[in-house]
Amino acid sequence: MFRLWARTFQSTHMLQDLVITDDSADTRTHKIKRALDQVCLQMDLSHPVWLDSNIADFKRVSKTRFTQDSFVDSIPFDYLEIQVIEEDF
């Protein structure tokens, strides 16, 4: 099972959170992309751009933050954080 946790923060306060589950046999990359698509749809956000710093963070600790720099539209929070919380190998 694959689970991704998405949270929006304003200062140090969590505004929203959402857990996306994926039981498919797809690759990790496809699961992450599909989960992020679902997060953006359910939270009514534009899709963030993966900057080099996001990719490096995600590869290192399976967690990254998307700030305003990653979004084309303005966002009503400081950052969106995504984290893989469960993953079968």
Number of separate domains in the chain? 1
| 7 phi/psi in degrees, rounded to 5 | -140, 145
pLDDT at position 87 is 85
Tally the C-alpha atoms within 13 A of residue 59's C-alpha that lie toward its C-beta: 7
Number of Cβ within a 10 Å radius of residue 76: 8
Query: Quick check: pTM over 0.85?
Result: yes
Which domain, by its residues, includes 61?
2-86
Q: What is the mean pLDDT of residues 70-76?
A: 93
Number of Cβ within a 10 Å radius of residue 40: 16
Q: What is the mean pLDDT of residues 60-87?
A: 94
